[in-house]
Structure formats: structure tokens, C-alpha cells
Amino acid sequence: HGNGTQNIFYEDPDVLTISLHQAGAYPPDSGRLEENGAGAGQGTNINVNIPAGAGHAAYLYAMEQVVIPALHRFQPEFIAVSSGFDAGGFDPLARMLGDGETFRAMTSMVKAAAATLCSGRLALVHEGGYAPTHVPFLGLAVIEELSGIQTGVIDPFAEAIYYHGGHTLLPHQAEAIAAAAQLVELIPLNG
């Protein structure tokens, strides 16, 4: 969970923060659905609590149902992404099943949103992800998508992650994401 980012901007109506994270993971007392901003910032914080074991389909569904609609409602002047790789399938602190293609697809979606909403003004900063042998492949997928340059390097962990399952959206995952999607309507209209 992006708890530091949430804390910094929790009462700021000029910044929309969205965190996609494993429900109940670190820190365990933070990142709940009802943590939706406070004061003037009420409605500008969205936590998407994705159940453990989720992979590619759940993350893309969260992007489609929450992140992209939230960005369109908020109309940002700039998009900054705290690009954590905790959702990678080999992260020792989480139990998610993302791979390079998951992060590539999410990057493509936010890049397209930035092109539409804020003249392409987009920055991604690496923050988190604790599998030292897997994170470089996840980061490379993001960089390839941003730059449009394909290196031909393949995530060597993708096949193992695929065989763990998790790439089909399950009903309990869709339900958790739908709960967060309801918060999009609470975002104050910007502009």
C-alpha cells in the first residue's frame, strides 16, 4: 500500500491518490477502502484492496474499473506513478501473481490516459518490490512500454507465475475491485 503517499496528500483536494495493493498486506492497518481522504481532500484517495493470489486479469480490471475512470473524472494536469513491483509473482512480502506483461499493460493504460488527459505529462518512479531477481524484468517491461523500444528480453519468471494460476478474474476479486470503483463518483470534479 502506498501509505506514505496517502499520508502526504490525504487532505489535499488538488492531488488524487490511488493505490492498488494486496488487501491486508504491509502495513496491515493501512490502505482500507474507507480511507478516502479527509477535510478538503475528502474523496481524493482511493485504495483498491485486491485479494491475495490475484494476477494479470485482476490488475487490468482494477485499472479499467477504477484507475482510468478516476483519472478521467479528476482531470489531472500531470500523472505521477509510484511504480512499485510488490505485485510481482516472486515478491517475498506479498502473495500476488503479476508478471512483466501485467506491468507493461498497466503502463500502456496509464500512458494512454496521460496522452488524453494531460498532454502526455507522465512520470513513473520506482518504489517497492523486493524480489531482487524478478524486479529488473518488471521494471524493464515498464521502460519498454514507456519508450516504445523492445529489447527482446523476456521475463524468465512469467511461465512459473502463469502456472500458479491467478490470471483469470475471480468473483471475489471482481467484488473487491467493484467496491473501490464506487469511490470514483466521490472524487470532486476538477475543473
pLDDT digits (tens, 9 = 90+) for 86-138: 999 999 999 999 999 999 999 999 999 999 999 999 999 999 999 999 999 99
| pLDDT at position 2 over 90 | no
In a domain, 156, yes or no: yes
Question: For the domain that residue 160 is a member of, what is the CATH number?
Answer: 3.40.800.20
Name the β-bridge partners of 79.
122
In a domain, 96, yes or no: yes
In a domain, 141, yes or no: yes
In a domain, 189, yes or no: no
In a domain, 25, yes or no: no
Residue with cell 474523496: 43
In a domain, 65, yes or no: yes
Asked if 176 and 64 touch (Cβ cutoff 8 Å), the reply is no
**Residue 145, phi then psi, degrees to nearest 5:** -65, -40
Question: 62 lies in which domain range?
Answer: 52-183
In a domain, 64, yes or no: yes
pLDDT at 190: 66
In a domain, 91, yes or no: yes
The tally of domains found in the chain comes to: 1
| C-alpha torsion angle, residues 60, 4, 185, 25 (rounded to 10) | 50
User: Where does the chain show beta strands of DSSP type E?
Assistant: 17-22, 45-50, 79-83, 122-126
Residues 149 and 172: their CA atoms lie apart, in Å, by 37
Asked if 60 and 102 touch (Cβ cutoff 8 Å), the reply is yes
pLDDT, tens digit, 9 for 90 and up, residues 57-95: 999 999 999 999 999 999 999 999 999 999 999 999 999
181-191 average pLDDT score: 88
